[in-house]
Amino acid sequence: MGKTGITKPPAQGAPGGPSGTDKAEKQPRSVRVVLLALMIAMLLAMLDNMIIGTAMPTIVGELGGLEHLSWVVTAYTLTTAASTPIWGKLGDLYGRKGIFLTSIVVFVLGSVLSGMAQDMGQLIGFRAVQGLGAGGLMVGVMAIIGDLIPPRERGKYQGMMAGVMALAMIGGPLVGGAITDHLGWRWSFYINVPLGAVALAMIVSVLHLPKKERGKGKIDYLGAGLLTIGITAIVLVTTWGGTEYAWGSGLILGLIATGLVAIAAFLFVETKASEPIIPLHIFRNRNFTLMSVIGFIVGFVMFGAVLYLPLFQQSVQGASATNSGLLLLPMLLSMMVVSLVVGRVTTSTGKYKMFPIAGGALITVGLFLLSQMDTGTSRLTSGIYMAVLGAGMGFLMQITMLVAQNSVEPKDMGVASSSTTLFRTLGSSFGVSVMGALFTARVADEMVARGAPGGMPKGAAVSAEALAKLPEQMREMVQYAVAAGTHGAFLLGAGVAVVAFVAAFFVKEVVLKGAGPKDAPAAAEQGGTEAREPVPAKA
């Protein structure tokens, strides 16, 4: 590979130009400029769903189509998940910069079209376009960071990525509400245009990656198609199962069968393809496989917690919708601070095995503590429990991507990033679905057990205002039922988190090397991926 410079450093006044040491000192400043652009792009994908959630009631009021409301989210999730591995492979084949810029353009185009939608059908279709672009945003950010920054140095930027995530989760609902109230729901989509334009301009001007010098490989269209069918079936099962359709219904069973057959066929095709969408040899590396499992569990746990904690806070603790978002601060701040510390320690020592172990332990303990909450639990107590869970996620969020990238060859950086992202996305789908099914069943059982055969009053479980209007006896029933439901959901999450804790013990620590003055040339030549565990050659 050729140069991996980001921007040319300013000319030095000393004869002979900058020394190696000067150049090494200049690089971090350029890296920060690129990272700022990458973080803006990452914010686009994360912020969007948080903003749209608060705007949905207004959107339905204007466009109608309440019966199709879930598809506004489902269409976006489907295309994001299905396109993620394809974006990663295209970046490996044709160069990350161009593919990444394309994903931003597609996302912004989808945002503009969504803002212009005149009915619910159009909005669903345009959200699918937006999700298609979103699939390339996260993968592009992670893969470009993997190309530019040596493994050991990447740790310094983990806190930045965790901060962006926390900002999106906290600020998204607040920004979405303000935009909807003052500018109209269409600006919930249009807000992506200036952010996307800034990211595009910065990346075009400051990011300079080496051109790919790869042999012309035939794109694995068959594998891409089968993987898309398989992922689509999985996401639909986890989205519809137990809510839109019964788990034993013909449609759900048919989707399960379709998903299994498509994934089995995909695995067979990948063993024959010259340029597989997901090269199966990367899973021969123990660390990569373990990080995929742990990433799946992180997605399962995190999105389940983000969904059911506000529900508990509103229904049981009487918080408003806005306050319930702010009450997540202990979890999000803990995650951000721990992620920052983990990154610094990883950078200074080059070691990381202790972090997945600590993370697995803390998310297990945190979820178990949350499962013990009841109608008498104070906000302070639940905040402490959330901080424990957030610390666990802080140990795991970015280290999974770092170790996964460090476990593959530079040519597979894109598919490694996209595969890790895909597993986390699928984990979130399963988490919301399985925890949701258990939550709903426990709530229904508790209501019946307390003498309310009609089940949950409409709207009471999600609205503190509606709950306050109920008779005292019914309100107490609802609060006990929701507490029972969250107990079951979080206890299930704790059981799943044990798998991550056990898996972490089998991680093989391969010390990460940095790129100081002496190491910089090697890091540049290797695309910033050094000292990784050897990967068996592709058969």
Per-residue pLDDT of the chain (539 residues; tens, 9 = 90+): 444 444 443 333 333 344 333 333 344 556 667 778 888 887 877 777 777 766 766 777 777 766 666 677 778 878 888 888 888 888 888 888 888 899 999 999 999 998 898 888 888 889 989 989 988 888 888 888 877 777 777 766 666 776 777 777 767 767 776 777 778 888 888 888 888 888 888 888 877 776 655 545 677 888 888 988 988 888 888 878 777 788 888 898 999 999 999 999 999 988 888 888 888 888 888 999 999 999 999 888 887 777 778 778 777 777 766 666 677 788 888 888 888 888 788 878 878 889 999 999 999 999 999 989 888 888 889 889 999 999 998 898 878 888 888 888 877 888 888 888 888 888 887 887 788 778 878 887 887 777 765 555 554 445 556 666 677 777 778 788 888 888 888 999 999 999 999 999 998 888 775 544 344 333 333 333 333 333 333 33
Q: Is residue 469 in a domain? A: no
Same domain, 204 and 225: no
Residues in the chain: 539
Q: Is residue 529 in a domain? A: no
Integer Cα distance of 342 and 126 in angstroms: 39
pLDDT at residue number 496: 92
Same domain, 180 and 39: yes
Q: Is residue 255 in a domain? A: yes
pLDDT at residue number 26: 41
Alpha helix positions (H), 241-281: 250-270
Same domain, 289 and 267: no
Same domain, 48 and 122: yes
> Where is the domain boundary, 200, 215, 230?
215
Two structure tokens written together for 199: 């990211």
Q: Is residue 369 in a domain? A: yes
Domain coverage including residue 232? 221-273
Please count the other Cβ atoms lying within 10 Å of the Cβ belonging to residue 495.
13
Same domain, 233 and 360: no
Same domain, 186 and 329: no
Burial of 302 per CB tally in 10 Å (0-12, 13-18, 19+) = buried
Find the CATH number of the domain harbouring 164. 1.20.1250.20
Q: Is residue 103 in a domain? A: yes
> Where is the domain boundary, 173, 195, 215?
215
Same domain, 209 and 233: no
Q: Write the DSSP assignment of 89-149 as a string of letters.
A: HHHHHH-HHHHHHHHHHHHHHHHHHHHT--SHHHHHHHHHHHHHHHHHHHHHHHHHHHHHS
pLDDT at residue number 205: 80
Same domain, 266 and 319: no
Count of structural domains, the chain? 3
Tokens 């996964």 correspond to 404
Among the listed residues 366, 349, 131, 470, the one whose alpha carbon sits nearest the alpha carbon of residue 123:
131
Question: CA dist 108 to 250, 327, 339, Å?
Answer: 38, 31, 30
Same domain, 205 and 269: no
Q: Residues 6 or more apart from 172 whose CB is under 8 A from it? A: 46, 47, 49, 50, 51, 53, 54
Integer Cα distance of 165 and 429 in angstroms: 18
Q: Is residue 460 in a domain? A: no
Q: Is residue 205 in a domain? A: yes
Cβ atoms of 143 and 528 within 8 Å: the answer is no
Two structure tokens written together for 56: 């949905």
Q: Which backbone phi and psi does 513 adopt, to 5 degrees?
A: -95, 150
pLDDT at residue number 109: 94
CA angle 258, 270, 530 (to 5 degrees): 125
pLDDT at residue number 460: 46
Same domain, 237 and 301: no
Same domain, 59 and 175: yes
Q: Is residue 387 in a domain? A: yes
Same domain, 33 and 126: yes
Integer Cα distance of 351 and 344 in angstroms: 11
